[in-house]
Structure formats: structure tokens, C-alpha cells
Amino acid sequence: MTTAELVRALRHDFGAAIQSVEEPVSDKVRVAVTPESVVAVAKSLYRDYGARFLITAGIDSRKDRDGFDVDHIFSLDKEQIFFIVRTTVPSDGPHVAAITPEVPAAAWAERELQDLLGVKADGLLDGRRLILPDDWPEGVHPLRKDIKYGDWPPLGDGTGEATYPWKPAPEGTSTVVVGPFFPVLEEPTQLRLYVDGERVIDCDYRGFYNHRAIEKMGDSELTYNEIPFVAERICGICGFIHSSCYCEAAEEALGITAPRRARYIRSLMLELERIHSHMLWTGIAGHILGFDTVLMQTWRMREPLMWLCEKISGNRKTYGMNIIGGVRRDISRDLYPEILSVVEKIEQEWAQLYDAVQGDTILKARLVGVGMLPEETAKALAAVGPTGRGSNQAIDARADHPYAAYDEVPAKVITHPDCDNWARVVVRLEETLESVRWIREGLKEMPDGPVMATDIAETVPAGHWGVCTVEAPRGEAIHYLVTGGDNRPDRWRVRAPTYANLQALPSMIKDETIADVPITLGSMDPCFSCTERVEVVNMRSGEAETLTHQELLTRSRAATERLRGR
């Protein structure tokens, strides 16, 4: 089905509810619908046409249209179509019908819409805060244009009156709190496990404790060509993924075509990043399971790759190579033999590791049949990356929406049907070998030529948009850009893969033992924010209190002074 055929079908079904259609480039369409029909249109896309929900972007358009735009972004993977359903709601008491009851994967996105833009999603089953701190004042929504970057409203006084409404524990269960700091997780987060003995009955999750306001910074402080360097810091491991995704979305919105050599260089760096990320994850997974030989061996194999990345870009990890229109550094052909030599050695050692892991019965006992995510559940919750592909979902942005050089050198999509932790391990092990194959082929096919576009206009028209997905090691990252004035976006929306996958965690750990929770959570390679709000529990009374930012600072400084006085 083409976009034209899909739009005709929706017009036939919904008539005047389809208000307008924009298709700035082939296979990307944005359809404006009435607020009353948004749920029906989203349901039809999801149920009738097999569209996969990606993310929702809310936009403060009060200056232009006295309202808020709500853009629900879908993907029709087989047809390689991005389809955006837009509705506009009035600025006075804005609310819109929630699509979550019909499209379960939209749950977090619509909670975020309420938090950051103040557009209430009517009909949400879980309407609790997602992003904003517990003591954040009501009625203050950071992504509104009248809130300036860096504004900090008066918060609670730390007396405990503003606390998160955790789900009540089911009858007959005990509560086990995991986090905020836990030995086998790379970053802090908090889970509440409701357990009957050792068996997990249910859980609740609280994250987003340190919202870094990167989207707000992009909408108000940074210019188009400053954003790639901030985007690269969204994730400490997948940085090049985010700068690539942003640049390709911006290039589409701005009508810029990056040279083919630049696009090949992007793909090459993305595959190098995929290899070292999968190596890092495999080592940490081994560590979680007490198999530290895997940790030491994979991180030893990874080090020559990090040296290679430093030789190419000047940095081991944060490469700083992407910019709108291409890349800032070329790769000398004199370096090709060394690249091939490094990945060939990795391929040999990785194959040996794969054989060793396959034959380890104790390791497989901890992984096989554990952390089950059935195929239909993965589909309903829009799980991505190895988490989705380990549940037999053939979702890979390199194939679904080819970017960089993947249209000329395709990537093989690796899936596994077993839907458990072992399946997610196997997907990553095989993808690492597939990345080595792509690098060989990509270097062979890489054309000569410039690495920076010359067709860049001096002025940028407002209201243009672009959307791009890039396959990070953890899964599909999404960047959606709407152009604005003053050489910066009007809206820059980012969705990292962990955002989608964490919503599947309750299903994955239900009926598992407490001991299997860390590796099941680790199997999705989660990337949390780097700091956590602290909850203090009085071990004698059992009472808990959540500390505000200011109270945490006060207590920390007081403790430091006490230590100095000893």
C-alpha cells in the first residue's frame, strides 16, 4: 500500500474528519484530523493496517493557531511509511481523547504529554506523573513556550506532602524495592516488586528522575548545527546513533542531501558503535549472572575497537563527526586495512565466544525460558531492538526505513522465536557478526567524493518537518523535527529505545523469581537517566520519605561537615 492509497482509504472511512494531508517527501505523510476522530483514526491504523506506534510529540502552537498540536507518529514497516496523525486542541483547558486504550504502546507518551505540555489525555488507565518530580507545582509545564529554559519553579519544602502514588501491593504480597542503587545495574532506577515468597506477582516502576531538558534546550537555546553535539550525549554508548538520527531528520526538513560518501561513513561508524555496544552488554550480562570470564574477555576484545574509533574520529566514544549536511571528518583509504584487520580479529574471537556460550549449560539454565515476552505482547507494547527481535518481531530501522547507506548495502535482520532472555542474547551475538560483514561490504562499496553538502540555504523556512529512525544497539531511536525561526527548531522530539522497551518489563518479570529480575531487566540493555531521586526508609518504623533536590543537598552538606569535624 502506498501513502496515497492509505490516505484514500482513510478518507473513505472517516470523510470530513480528515482535515488536511501533507506529504513533504515520499512515504512520509502527516494527516490532520478532528479531535473527536483521533482515537478512531489511530485505532484503524493500528488494527486495520498494522501500523506500529512510535511516539507522540506535543507542540505548543498557541502563537500561530491558539492551540496545541498533538502528533501521534506511526510506522508501517513493510511499506516503509511514516504516518503522523495530528490533532489540534484549544489552548484553554486543553485535552484530547487518549489513544492508549486502543494502542497500548502509547501509554507513556500520553502521560508525558500531560506532564510536559499540559494537554490532558482523557481515558488513560494510568494518569500518574511520568516525567515531572513529585514536588513539581501543578499547572507548570516545561515544554510550553512561555516557560524559559532554565526556569525553576518553587518546589515543595521537603516535608513529604508530595510523594509518588505507587501502585498498592496486591493482597498477600510483600514489597521488595530494587534501587535506586543496585550492584548489577550500570545506572540507577527504582523498581518496586510485589512478591509472594520468591515469586514476582506484579511490579511498579519510577524513572525519569533527572530529566535533562535536552528537547527544551533544542527548542529554545541551540541552533540547528549545535544540536548534533548535544544529541550525541543523550546516551553514553549510543551517541553517534542520536546525532545521526537528528541530522537525517533535520536534512529532510531543511531539504539538504548529504553526499553518498558521508552517508557511508555514518553507516560505518554506526556499525562500529553497534559492535562495541554489544560487546559491552555481553560482558555486563555475564557479570550479572556471575560469569565474569565473559565480562573480562568481551571487554578485552572491545579495547582494540575503541582504539580504532579514536584513530578515526579523535575520540574513543563521543566522535563529534556528524553535522547537518554530512560529516566533519573523512576516513582515509590508508586506514581501510586496519579497520578490516581489527574487525576480522573480533569476528574470530567472537565466534569462539559464541561457541563457548552456546555450550554452557549453567548459563543457559539461567536464561532459557526466563523473562518471557510473548510475540503478541511484544507487538502490542511495540518492543524494539533485540528485545523485540528476540520475540520474533522483524523490526529493524535499517531495513524498515533505510537511512545513511543501508539502501545500497542492506543489513540482515536477526530474529529469534523463543521470546526469552536467551533469545535476546543470541540476537546480539549474531548481530555482532552481521555488523562485521556490513563493515567489510561497506568499505568495499564506499564511493569517493565530498563528505559535506554544498546545497545548504542561508535561511530556513518555518513549519517544515522531518522524521527519522536509526537502529541503535538497543533498538530503534526516533527523532522528529519541526523547523522554526531564529535558526533553531520549533520542536525537536526524541525517543530512545529503552523508553519503548521498559514498558514491557512488568510482563517479562511476572511469575519469575526475584533472582531473575536483574538479568531480565538487563536483557533489554536499559539506559536510564544518570541520577535518581533518593527515598529514605527508616528501618525501625518502616516509614519512607522522598527527598527533594534541595533537602538532599542540605543533608549531604551537613554530613560532610560532620565528617570534617571528626
* pLDDT tens-digit map of 102-159: 999 999 999 999 999 999 999 999 999 998 888 888 899 999 999 888 887 877 654 5
Strands (E), 51-152: 52-60, 67-76, 81-90, 95-97, 120-122
Per-residue model confidence (pLDDT) at position 530: 34
The C-alpha atoms of residue 112 and residue 115 are separated, in whole angstroms, by 5
Q: What is the pLDDT of residues 515-562, one digit of tens each?
A: 999 899 999 988 765 333 455 556 567 676 666 666 767 877 787 777
Per-residue model confidence (pLDDT) at position 37: 97
Measured at the alpha carbon of residue 352, what is the angle toward residues 349 and 354, in degrees to the nearest 5? Answer: 110
User: Among the listed ranges 250-264, 414-428, 457-471, which one has the minimum average pLDDT value?
Assistant: 457-471
Q: What is the pLDDT of residues 50-98, one digit of tens each?
A: 999 999 999 999 988 889 999 999 999 999 999 999 999 999 999 999 9
Contact 184, 292 (CB under 8 A): no
Per-residue model confidence (pLDDT) at position 546: 63
Residue 110, C-alpha cell as written in the block: 500520553
Burial of 543 (0-12, 13-18, 19+ CB in 10 A): exposed
The C-alpha atoms of residue 131 and residue 165 are separated, in whole angstroms, by 14
| Identity of the residue numbered 25 | V
Per-residue model confidence (pLDDT) at position 532: 38
- pTM of the shown model: 0.91
CA torsion 233-238-244-247 (nearest 10°) is -30
Position 4 pLDDT exceeds 50: yes
Residue 38, C-alpha cell as written in the block: 483521533
Phi, psi of 42 (to 5 degrees): -60, -40
Classified as helix, coil or strand, 263 is helix
Q: Which of 278, 253, 422, 261 is nearest to 343 (CA)?
A: 278
Residue 523, C-alpha cell as written in the block: 536483557
Mean pLDDT of 225-243: 90
Per-residue model confidence (pLDDT) at position 64: 86
Going by C-beta distance under 8 Å and a sequence separation of 6 or more, which residues neighbour residue 263?
403, 404, 405
Query: What is the torsional sign of CA 517, 518, 521, 527?
Result: positive
The C-alpha atoms of residue 293 and residue 289 are separated, in whole angstroms, by 11
Contact 521, 497 (CB under 8 A): no
Q: Which residue has the cell 494531508?
A: 21
The C-alpha atoms of residue 558 and residue 552 are separated, in whole angstroms, by 10
The C-alpha atoms of residue 416 and residue 410 are separated, in whole angstroms, by 19
Residue 118, C-alpha cell as written in the block: 499540559
Mean pLDDT of 407-429: 97
